A = this chain, B = another copy of it.
C-alpha cells in the first residue's frame, strides 16, 4: 500500500469518495462481497462509516461503484430489457439477455471501459469480485428479472457462456464472432444460452 493514511477519521473532502472506492476495491477483492462490511471499508479508508453511506448508500451500491464500470449494469440492463420490442425473443430469455447485453457492449462510448472491467475481473484477485460480488449483486437479480427458474444455479452457467462470447467478440476479436452483426450473434447464441437458462439440468448426485 503506497498511499499514506491518517490515523484518525477524516472529514469529507474532495478526494474522500476516491479514497473510499480504493479501500472498497481492496477489501472486496480480499474478502468478497459477503465477507466485507461497510464498517471495514470505512476503517480501511480511515473515515466514518456514515460518510460511506452518505456517498454510496448501501453496500450493493458501494460494490458496483468499486467495479468502476462505465455504467451501472443493474440499471442499464433492466432499462434495455424493458425497451426491447414485445415480440423480440418473447419465448427466448437468451435472446432478450443477449440483445440487452450487445446493445451496451456494441456502444463505442462504453466498450473500452467494459473491456477494462473484464480484464480486471481476470487479473489475479479479480475472481473474488466475480464470484462473491458480481454474481449475487448483478447476475442473480438479472436472472430474476428475466424470470429464470433457479437463477443462482442457472445464471452462473449462462455467465460462463456470455463471458466467453464477450471475450471472443471484444477482447480477442475472434472471427466470425467479432464481425457478426448483433442480430446474427443473437440468432447463433440465443439457443445456446436458452439451453442453460431453460434446459434440463443434470440431476445432482444423490446423497
A residues with CB within 8 A of B: 119, 121-122, 126-127, 130-131, 135, 153, 156-157, 159-165, 167-169, 171-177, 181, 184, 187-188, 191-192, 195-196, 199, 201-202, 205
The 9 closest A-B pairs by CB, nearest first: A164-B164, A160-B168, A187-B202, A160-B164, A127-B172, A163-B164, A192-B195, A160-B165, A184-B202
Contact pick for A177, options B160, B169, B187, B188, CB 8 Å: B160
In Å, the complex CA distance between A176 and B130 comes to 13
CB closest residue in chain B, given A167: B163
Copies of this chain assembled into the complex:
2
Which one of B162, B184, B195 contacts A164 once the chains associate, using CB atoms below 8 Å? B162
Contact A174 B188 (CB under 8 A): no
B contact residues around A157 at 8 Å (CB): 176-177, 188
Contact B202 A171 (CB under 8 A): no
On whether the beta carbons of B163 and A159 are closer than 8 Å, the reply is: no
A196 to chain B, nearest CB (A): 6
Could you tell me if A131 and B188 are in contact, using CB atoms closer than 8 angstroms? no
Query: Pick the contact of A135 from B127, B174, B192 — CB < 8 Å?
Result: B174
Write out the residue numbers on chain B whose beta carbons fall within 8 Å of the beta carbon of A159. Answer: 168, 174
